[in-house]
Amino acid sequence: MRSVATSLVGRDEELESIEAFLARATEASSALVLAGEPGIGKTSLWRHGLDAAEDAGVRTLAARPNEAEAAFAYAALTDVLATVREETAPLLPEPQRRALEIALLLEEPDAATERHGVALAFLGVLRMLAEDAPVLVAVDDVQWLDRASADVLAYAARRVDDEPVGFLLARRVERDGAPSGLERAFRAERLETRTLRPLSLGAVHRLLHERLGRAFARPVLRRIHELSGGNPFYALELAEALEREAGRLDRDGPLPLTLEALVRERLVGLPRATRRVLAAAAAGAQPTVALLERAGESDALASLAPAVEADVVAVENGRVRFTHPLLASGAYALAGVAERRDLHRILAGLADDPEERARHRALAAPGPDPEVADALDAAASQARRRGAPVVAAELGERAVALTPPGRVHDRQRRLVETALFHFESGDSSRARSMLEQIAGELPFGGERARTLVALARVRSYDDDLRAATALFEQALAEAEDAQVRAAAHEGVSACLFRRRERHADGIDHGQAAFELARELGNRPLLVEALGSRMLHEAILGRPAAARTLEQALALRGEGTGERVLRDPRFAAGVLRLWWDELERAHAEFEELAAAARATGDEASLPYVLFMLAQTECRLGAFDEAAARAEEANELTVQSGQEWLEAYAHALRALADAYRGREDGARAAAARALALAGATGSAPAEQFALTALGHLELSLGRPGDAWSHLEPVVVWAEREGADEPGAVPCLPDAVEALVEAGRLDEAEEALGRLEVNARRLGRASAEAACARLEALLAAARGEREAAAAAFERALAAHEHVPMPLERARTLIARGAFLRRGKRKREARESLEQAVALCEEVGAAVWAERARSELGRIGGRAPSRGELTPAERRVAELVAEGRTNREVAAALFLSDRTVEGHLSRVYMKLGVRSRAELARRFAST
């Protein structure tokens, strides 16, 4: 008896690749993909890698999905975790453990499971195992991975980096040779793809001799090699067909049958009872001997014996597995349509899982059937609760197809639900087309209003906020149900805020949604309505925002919904950022980011990262802000939401502009503006323009700066955006006008900004206004007024930790003092500015400060004298803090702290942290 899986003849290079891969994977995350056409020998090499890993003490988690399993949620994940679930599940955080157990059908869901919770649990299992020994996740026939399992594996693959976790994958290469979605999750430098080449003539000779025990004449061997194309499976089939006289290989004779026909011919030669049991095995997801006997085969093992002898199937621990996918497809195809329906009807009666039972019933149904459609509908809901919306969408499509024409209401409801399953799974284009179709079919009224709300939700996250707003408003005109009206009012309010338009209308819609949600007792919607209303109130500078914030926070913890974005602390953090409560806002967003990661809420995480990036930009932690923007960008690219991707690029541009990285800022801003123009992402456009304006201003190009910032200024005036914190570029715009010599325009713009800064008590805006007042006075030759304004600016800076803004005031003041021949004071001001700019990594502003210093004559600072930034770092290190703790305390990057510490060692002549501590203890 031979195995259809090829031997390792002629695979020396591939074996070396596997050996090298396993060595890499024991140190850090690595992936090896064995790719090739059917029958080329992928599985044999995959098995060799699995065996080699186990021999080396690597913990192996393996799955071999088949075509029948591809439609079942978490089928492969169940196999991957089979040997470790009982060991690791109890050690997971309870939300993750429960999400995993529900996904694997080990617990009943009581609500919809967040699929990211399942992914997070799997990641936790991998990291847990990797602490004790290297781990290998091995998946054969990746092309048959079910989508839910593939998403979970991809999530983990993107996040295990330094952990010793390897991924050994084998997949079929069809005509296009495109990589699987799972492969795209790996970083390029950590991924090796080995495409298996055809065997040489000599390798085919060795293979046939080894497996069939005979040597073929050279002309026949050449013909086998030529016709098989070096494919080992095809070569063996041809050789066996020749031995059975099922085909001729003479060059002048007829060509042999195709591979599929050879497979068919091989199966047709088996007894009828064997072919029937093989068809039943091919129809099942995970066929076992016991299942086949329950399906009507009195002695399934005896019926399978000829197939085992022919190496069509293998029976291992009671489980029946085809030795090659083509054989499974051939066995299923040999059964007629009626026989296949009969098999699925029998298997449906034996299936314990409602999802599997519904699928079999669907395949057994000759046409629309209300009971089967209902079963598929229920199975789709279960799949959604298990956190598998892709499977839910596929089951929902089947339910729609089998819904009888007379059940119009059921069909429409299922279409809407299925569309939302598609949307949740990331296929927004499919969701949109389905919902647009339904909306076009429905008459004016309540049912259509419900569909319009769903379509508006999709459009709001898809590509067009204006279209989404119009759909929500149309739903309001048709809605008959209070729940639909509440959702539509909240949708209009949220869309208007994201568009940064019609804020007064946004408040009214938010209030209407709030009142309806309160009547309905819908707390999640209640909090969302308050949040939308609050943001509109705040951007307009209305005092009511503070009262709405208190009202929203009072509802926290009372069933406010599963999403982090529904936590009122998110909107609270936005307001605290605008209101100069920067450390508190930063702590709030850090907690929310941790919560999003802990629960796998990656739909909310990008928004939290955006706000963290903005907060860190104001705190001067530009490296950290750039890292947040990059992480958010990765998440948004994966979800395909271009308007969010635009936001991420804009914030990266802002961080780069503050750091003085001109090329990076321009490239990121250009990308953001292109995406914002296509999607209508107003925040992304404004932040990209803010970045470009700041960059040009720092480079001494005020005219170019104003050209970028003017549209934002015009928007703020038109929309009544009086909250200075919501429009942080306004001081730069005024400064650009001053430096461009447009003093009257600058004075007018400054007046509006000052009124709002004082009315609302925003220290950062008051500091910026005082600096701008000083620059205006200096430009007009009013030196006493300018000097007083600079002092007011520095006093105001003491109330809010924005180091770059303070540094800019010190630079402007130093230049002013230098021109007034007050050299000592000018030097002190500029030296402080250099230290602050170096501390936060603002390279261009640091250079401007050094340039002004170079224009001052007299004594330069001593080489051994520490700058204020260096002294702060040295003092904290001397207290025994680590570099990471110092970085956190001063809002610096680890690299910046290391640079400061190196200069401290050099200037003070010390070589260790202990020496530094003694030096400071003696002073």
Three-class SS state of 502: coil
Distance between CA atoms of 144 and 391, rounded to whole angstroms?
Answer: 14
Tokens 């307001």 correspond to what residue?
Answer: 575
- pLDDT of res. 181: 67
pLDDT confidence of residue 558: 45
> What are φ and ψ of residue 200, in 5° steps?
-75, 170
Q: Which range is least confidently modeled, 306-310, 344-348, 615-619, 862-866?
A: 862-866
pLDDT given at position 806: 93
CA triplet 588, 590, 593: central angle to 5 degrees? Answer: 110
Q: Report, as an integer, the average pLDDT of 738-760.
A: 94
Instruction: Report the pLDDT averaged over residues 421-428.
Output: 76
Average pLDDT, integer, range 498-525 = 92
What gap in Å lies between CA 419 and CA 416, rounded to an integer?
Answer: 5
If you compute the radius of gyration of the chain from its CA atoms, what whole number of angstroms results?
34
Give just the sign of the alpha carbon dihedral 301, 303, 309, 311: negative
Q: Which residues pair with 30 in a beta bridge?
A: 166
Q: In terms of Cα–Cα distance, which of 376, 566, 390, 384 is closest to 490?
A: 566
Give the pLDDT band (50/70/90) at residue 561: very low
Residue of 707 and 555 predicted with greater confidence: 707
Amino acid at 561: G
Q: Kindly state the percentage of the chain with pLDDT values over 90.
A: 36
**What was the pLDDT predicted at 554?**
85
8 A C-beta contact, residue 424 and residue 140: no
For 107-136, how does the pLDDT look when each residue is reduced to its tens digit (9 = 90+)? 877 655 566 778 888 999 999 999 889 999
pLDDT higher than 80, residue 820: yes
**Is the pLDDT assigned to residue 57 strictly greater than 80?**
yes
**What was the pLDDT predicted at 601?**
64
Residue 674 CB-half CA count within 13 A: 7
Q: What is the DSSP string of 613-645?
A: HHHHHHHT-HHHHHHHHHHHHHHHHHHT-HHHH
Exposure b/e, 507-532, CB count within 10 A at least 16 = b: bebbbbbbebbeeeebbbbbbbbbbb
59: enclosing H helix or E strand: strand 59-63
Q: What percent of the chain has pLDDT over 70?
A: 91
Taking the C-alpha atoms of residue 377 and residue 375, their distance in angstroms, rounded to an integer, is 5
CA-nearest of 306, 335, 308 to 322 is 308
Is-contact 727 708, C-beta < 8 A? Answer: no
Q: End-to-end CA distance of the chain, in Å?
A: 86
Distance CA 693, CA 703 (A): 9
Under the banding of pLDDT at 50, 70 and 90, the label for residue 576 is: very high
Place of tokens 């509006």: 752
Which conformational region is residue 279 in: left (phi greater than 0), alpha (psi within -120 to 50 degrees), or beta? alpha
The 3-state secondary structure of 155-175, one letter per residue:
HHHHHCCCCCEEEEEEEECCC
DSSP code per residue over 593-617:
HHHHHHHT-TTTHHHHHHHHHHHHH
Q: Averaged over 800-816, what is the pLDDT?
A: 93
d(CA 599, CA 124): 12
Predicted pLDDT of residue 141 = 87
> Which is nearest to 666 in space by CA: 686, 696, 639?
696
Q: How far apart are CA 800 and CA 797, in angstroms?
A: 6
Q: 30-36 and 191-195 as β-strands: parallel, antiparallel, unpaired?
A: parallel
Report which residue type is found at 16. Answer: E
Q: Report whether pLDDT(6) > 60.
A: no
**Average pLDDT of the residues of the chain:** 85
Pick the closest to residue 107 from 385, 350, 357, 396 (CA basis). Answer: 385
Q: What is the DSSP string of 360-388?
A: HHHHH-SS--HHHHHHHHHHHHHHHHTT-
Residue 697 token pair:
């201003």
Q: How many angstroms separate the CA atoms of 778 and 775, rounded?
A: 5
The model's pLDDT over 596-636, given as tens digits with 9 standing for 90+, comes to 776 666 667 888 999 999 999 999 999 999 998 988 887 77
pLDDT digits (tens, 9 = 90+) for 215-224: 776 667 777 7
Q: Where are the alpha helices (DSSP H) in 720-822?
A: 730-739, 743-760, 763-779, 783-797, 803-819
Task: Provide the 3-class DSSP secondary structure of residue 113.
Answer: coil
Q: Which of 567, 507, 572 is nearest to 536 (CA)?
A: 507
| pLDDT of the residue at 112 | 57
- Quick one: 356 exposed, middle or buried, by C-beta within 10 A (0-12, 13-18, 19+)? buried
Residue keyed to tokens 């509440």: 486
Residue that the structure tokens 């800022």 belong to = 665
Q: Which two tokens stand for residue 724?
A: 């200075």
CA within 13 Å, CB half, 478: 19
Look-up: residue for tokens 């639909």? 484
pLDDT at 858: 56
Residue that is written with structure tokens 């059921």 in the block: 410
165 bridge partner residues: 135
Mean pLDDT of all residues in 653-658: 95
Closest by alpha carbon to 765, among 793, 737, 740?
A: 793
Cα gap 57→80, rounded to integer Å: 17
Half-sphere exposure of 843 (CA within 13 A, CB side): 9
For 398-409, the pLDDT digits (tens) are: 998 899 988 988
Task: Give residue 177's pLDDT.
Answer: 47
Q: Which of 202-211, 254-263, 347-356, 524-533 has the lowest mean pLDDT?
A: 254-263
User: Which of 249, 260, 256, 320 is closest to 286 using CA atoms?
Assistant: 320
* Residue 431, C-beta contacts closer than 8 angstroms, at least 6 positions apart: 419, 420, 422, 423, 458
Tokens for 895, please give them.
């690299």
DSSP labels, 442-457: SPSSHHHHHHHHHHHH
- 755-800 pLDDT per residue, tens: 999 999 999 999 999 999 999 999 999 999 999 999 999 999 989 9
Give yes or no for residue 259 having a pLDDT over 70: no
pLDDT given at position 765: 95
Does position 733 have pLDDT exceeding 90, yes or no?
Answer: yes
d(CA 783, CA 768) in angstroms, rounded, equals 18
Q: Pick from 82, 128, 127, 123: which is nearest to 106 by CA?
A: 82
Dihedral of the CA atoms 516, 521, 525, 526 (nearest 10)?
Answer: 70
Query: pTM surpassing 0.95?
Result: no
pLDDT of residue 453: 92
DSSP class of residue 193 equals: E
